[in-house]
Structure 1
Amino acid sequence: ALARALVRSPQVLVLDDATSAVDPVVEAEILARLRSTLRTTTLIVAHRVSTIELADRVLYLDGGRVAASGTHRQLLA
């Protein structure tokens, strides 16, 4: 599904737990390569904290509402 989406060169790419089935090392490589090659807005839905490390901005949702916003580093501080 990811390959089909990338072939279409979308303006916005939505990844809903797209890397949850791979181990964290493979996930980090996938996300780093996507970031270095894509020039598109990417919305990532994730449950692993490590998934969002490369994000420019993170929104933490609690009960369907934004509970916190900032960079990965800011939210972990």
Structure 2
Amino acid sequence: MTDNNNIHTEDKLICTKGNDYYAEGEIYTVGRIVNDKYFQLLTSGNDDHWYATLDDQGIYVSFDTSTVTNNKAFFAKIA
């Protein structure tokens, strides 16, 4: 990703709105950067990940599944 969005591998993000997979108030680590819009967000023990999106809505992981009650989890970068 570019420096304009200020997200890099190993950055720490705090969950500001959780769902079934990400807990509000917990801190998660950014994994591999895919492009200027998508990157990996590591989960339990940093072994698993979901793909996060950075756009005009903010930083979030969106789940397209009927098993997740709230389909988006939102995050903020920890300064």
TM range, normalised to the smaller chain? under 0.3
TM-score by length of 2: 0.23
Bigger radius of gyration, 1 or 2? 1
Higher helix share: 1
Query: Larger RCO: Structure 1 or Structure 2 (Cα < 8 Å, ≥ 6 residues apart)?
Result: 2
Higher strand share: 2
